[in-house]
Structure 1
């Protein structure tokens, strides 16, 4: 059968937000440019629509819980007790779960298992006798270790997950990574590439070509943007807010310079970033990577308790144009007082290949090696 001759790759993706799925899509699309015959078996609970930028004949979607991650109260705060409760329900992995998924990988003739910080994929790969590749800028044992003082029960999961992640056959560290290790492939930031010109995106949004445009986003997490009316204070600037139509407070009339989009809109997020002069967002890997390659300024909201945050903040300060915005400033729109400083920052153009291409070249070599 023709389909059986195509190299199949399983991709286990954590459902923690959309950033890891965005990174997985970037790697998948880059690999398809190297090997158009590759077929992916995607295992995750990230909504299936998120992967629709990939050719429909290039993947099958399996709605499987692959990871716990962190339970979030909001995009900026974690619920550690709830996280521990979910970990207790999910780990250690049940033998039936692992063996059943391993059988599915054998049935689909998978030759490789990629895991974007979803440890279940590594366990399944080992049970199926298939090589595994861990793609990460952090692992959950490192993140959970930062919360042990909040809940001592996390110590067991730190040790359990450290052993699981160490069991990966190969490792790709997506820069900027939290813990660099010699001997592992380290890439430039990995992000999906924009695909529509800024001029056309602005035209579709109704933003004048030369008007300043600011993207306000909390990534894959919902947020009640209670400050939208305050943006009328800057009628010279157009503000684009994905998820602005999903606010719990309901949809009401907005100032004409505020463009609210549904959380799942027809606009490709990297296109919105590339079309913006400034992005205001929590500091998360996917947003940082997209802004890095777009070159625009970033007003970033740190997450002091989340260990990834300090690494990303330091990277932005060193390699990008940007300014910190506190959680209070974000909620009250006081960041508007610093908007002119952000708008005045030059775009920083970065040379070299996107990390997705570097990761894809490595994975392609495993398929032919």
Structure 2
């Protein structure tokens, strides 16, 4: 990893200049990044306003893996961010040289007709459990896990999970709007990834989160979640040795979940971006008017 990072930092000047050319060619008026760092430096060179939106940056993600001196170049990119929209779990330096705001969990829009279509394809008399273990899961013999043993449970799994059992439905590989499967499920079993947790929270689903070696980003997400939404922490090995009904007994101590208004949070973020753009446009108009007045008086 260190050698790959060193190659990245060696190439930074060229990467920034390529980004500068792209922003010029496309006549970009605002840069919005979800935390690629190079665009902030390119936008800074051109005087284009920039907004970062995320629950983490690569600067903090790598802090436990790389020496402080190695991270200086990455810090120098992020510090050029004009505004920072911080999502739940963000434990970051005070990014945003012109401003910072906090926002809540949000989800992609859910189409209830599509949810109904998915539910019609699943057994109506069984609990539906969406099991999302991550795209990079390395789990051999996964179909032999005891997790799938309950006859009164039907499971949804992502396309990368090979579980050829009669009580398991795989999401088609080409299907991208997986929030509809989250909404169609009764329970979500997942790793501590921000996106899946956010969609489960916004849909008000019972949430089981696997205990595995996590990046600091995941730990911060769970810290934010603990004060907002009930969840059950499940040891990774328990998925192999316990049925879902056995896991669910662990969750009986957990309070009932309640859906949050994820679409309201999206509206708040869009409003924040619009307010920034309006403010910047007013400043440009005032600047142009001042210059016009100076030319008339001159």
**Shorter-chain TM-score tier:** 0.7 to 0.9
Which residue of 12, 15, 18 maps to 1:100?
18
Change (3 A) 1:285 1:223: same
1:355 aligns with 2:261: no
Match for 2:9 among 88, 91, 94? 91
> Which residue number in structure 1 is paired with residue 59 of structure 2?
141
293-302 vs 215-224, which moves further? 215-224
The answer on 1:113 being equivalent to 2:31 is yes
Change (3 A) 1:244 1:92: closer
Match of 1:255 in 2: 165
Unpaired segments of 5 or more residues in structure 1?
A: 1-82, 149-153
1:195 to 94, 98, 111: 111
- Rg comparison, structure with higher value: 2
- 2:237: which partner in 1? 328
Aligned partner of 1:313 in structure 2 is 222
1:240 aligns with 2:156: yes
**Alignment deviations for residues 190-211 of structure 1 (CA, whole Å, 9 cap, x no partner):** 32122244322211xx212352
CA deviation map 1:24-46 (0-9, x unaligned): xxxxxxxxxxxxxxxxxxxxxxx
Q: Spell out, residue by residue over 1:31-69, the C-alpha distance to the aligned partner (whole angstroms, 9 max, x if none).
A: xxxxxxxxxxxxxxxxxxxxxxxxxxxxxxxxxxxxxxx
Gaps of 5+ in 2: 280-298
CA offset at residue 341 of structure 1? 4.8
Which residue of 131, 147, 163 corresponds with 1:216?
A: 131
User: CA distance change for structure 1 residues 110 and 120 in 2, over 3 Å: closer, same or farther?
Assistant: same
Tell me the CA shift for residue 179 of structure 1.
Answer: 3.6
- Aligned partners of 2:209 and 2:231 also within 8 Å: yes
The match for 1:3 is none
Whether the 8 Å contact between 2:131 and 2:156 is mirrored in structure 1 is yes
Specify whether residues 265 and 282 from structure 1 end up closer, same or farther in structure 2 by C-alpha distance, changes over 3 A only: same
Normalized against structure 2, the TM-score is what?
0.80
Number of residue pairs aligned between Structure 1 and Structure 2 = 272
Contact 1:132 1:168 in 2 (8 A): yes
Change (3 A) 1:159 1:121: same
Cα distance in 1 for residues equivalent to 2:143 and 2:230: 24
SS in 2 for 1:110: coil
Match for residue 291 of structure 1? 200
Q: 1:163 aligns with which of 52, 55, 76?
A: 76
State the shift of 1:133 in Å.
0.8
Q: Tell me, in whole angstroms, the C-alpha distance in 2 between the residues paired with 1:318 and 1:362.
A: 25
3-state SS of paired residue (2:166): coil
When residues 233 and 218 of structure 1 are mapped into structure 2, their CA distance, relative to the original with a 3 A threshold, is closer
User: Counterparts of 1:327 and 1:258 in 2: how far apart (Å)?
Assistant: 20
Q: Secondary structure at the match of 1:299?
A: strand
| Residue in 1 that maps onto 2:177 | 268
- The 1:85–1:116 alpha-carbon spacing in structure 2 relative to 1, beyond 3 Å, is same
Q: Indicate which of 45, 49, 60 corresponds to 1:131.
A: 49
3-state SS of the aligned residue for 1:319?
coil
Distance 2:176 2:22 in 1: 34
The residue that corresponds to 2:282 in the other structure is none
More helix as a share of residues: 2
Match of 2:286 in 1: none
C-alpha displacement of 1:242: 0.6
